[in-house]
C-alpha cells in the first residue's frame, strides 16, 4: 500500500509516493523502496516492457553515440535481468522483425536469465571463467564482435577500496576478451565506479580504441557512483595489457 503526498516547488505541483508497508524493514530498504516508487524510469520501464530501468541508460548512450546497428554481433556481459539485451536485440534486429540485416546478441550472467526472443542467453555462468568464455566462442562460431557491453558490478562489500578493485577487475576481464574477439572498428562499453584506477583503465582502453570517453547518462541516478567508459574504433590487437 502507498499514499500520495502533494508538494510544490513553487513552479509545479508534484505527488510523492510514500510507501506505508515499511514496518520491520531496515532504513536502507525503506529508502530503496521509496526511491523505486518515485523513480520515473521504473514506471517507464514497466510501460515499455523493459525488464528494468537500466535499459534507458543504454538507450540514452546509444542515442547520442550510435554504435548499435542492424546486423551487428553483440555480447552483453552481466545481462540479468536482460534489459540491455532487450535494447541490443531491438537495435541490432536480432529477432529479425525488421526488414534489415539480422544481428546476433548473446547475454551472459551469473544469475538465471529468462528467455528473450532474438537473444542467446547463458544464465548461471560467470563471464570471467575460461569455460564460460569458451562457451561464448562456440556460440559465436568464428564470428567477431562488433559491440561488447558490460553492466557488470560486484556485490558490494561496503569497503570502498575493495569494491573499486573488484569492479576494475571485471572491467579488465571484459577488455581482455574484447581485444581478442572484436572486429576492427568495434565498440566497448563498460560500467565503472568513481575512484582510483579509472584514469589508468581509460589509458589502457585507449591503447586499443581510437576514442574513449566517460559518460554519466541522465538515467543513472545522481547519487550513484556509476559511470560508463565508451571506447570507439577498435584498432586491433597490436599490444598487450
Question: What is the set of active-site residues?
Answer: 191
Which distant-in-sequence residues (6+ apart) come within 8 Å of 50 by Cβ?
A: 56, 83, 86, 87
What does the alpha-carbon distance between residue 91 and residue 151 come to, in Å, rounded to a whole number? 17
Look-up of cell digits 499514499: 3
- Is residue 230 within 8 A of residue 188, CB to CB? The reply is yes
- Is residue 132 within 8 A of residue 122, CB to CB? The reply is yes
Residue 205 in 3-state DSSP? helix
Q: Which three cell numbers stand for residue 139?
A: 556460440
From the list 8, 9, 18, the residue with the least C-alpha distance to 38 is 18
Look-up of cell digits 560467470: 126
- Is residue 109 within 8 A of residue 80, CB to CB? The reply is yes
Amino acid at each position: 500500500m502507498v499514499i500520495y503526498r502533494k508538494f510544490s516547488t513553487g513552479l509545479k505541483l508534484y505527488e510523492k509516493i510514500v510507501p506505508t508497508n515499511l514496518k520491520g524493514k531496515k532504513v536502507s530498504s525503506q529508502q530503496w523502496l521509496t526511491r523505486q516508487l518515485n523513480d520515473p524510469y521504473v514506471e517507464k520501464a514497466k510501460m515499455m516492457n523493459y525488464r528494468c530501468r537500466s535499459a534507458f541508460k543504454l538507450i540514452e548512450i546509444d542515442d547520442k553515440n550510435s554504435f548499435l546497428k542492424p546486423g551487428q554481433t553483440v555480447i552483453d556481459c552481466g545481462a540479468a535481468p536482460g534489459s540491455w539485451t532487450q535494447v541490443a536485440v531491438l537495435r541490432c534486429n536480432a529477432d529479425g522483425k525488421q526488414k534489415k540485416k539480422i544481428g546476433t546478441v548473446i547475454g551472459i550472467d551469473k544469475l538465471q536469465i529468462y528467455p528473450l526472443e532474438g537473444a542467446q542467453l547463458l544464465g548461471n555462468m560467470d563471464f570471467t571463467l575460461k569455460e564460460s568464455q569458451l562457451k561464448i566462442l562456440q556460440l559465436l562460431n568464428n564470428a567477431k564482435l562488433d559491440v561488447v557491453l558490460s553492466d557488470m558490478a560486484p556485490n558490494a562489500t561496503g569497503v570502498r577500496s575493495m569494491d573499486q578493485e573488484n569492479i576494475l577487475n571485471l572491467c579488465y576481464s571484459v577488455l581482455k576478451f574484447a581485444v581478442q574477439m572484436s572486429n576492427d572498428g568495434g565498440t566497448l562499453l563498460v560500467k565503472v565506479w568513481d575512484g582510483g584506477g579509472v584514469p589508468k583503465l581509460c589509458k589502457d582502453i585507449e591503447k586499443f580504441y581510437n576514442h574513449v570517453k566517460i559518460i554519466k547518462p541522465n538515467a543513472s541516478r545522481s547519487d550513484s557512483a556509476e559511470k560508463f567508459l565508451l571506447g570507439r574504433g577498435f584498432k586491433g590487437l597490436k599490444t598487450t595489457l
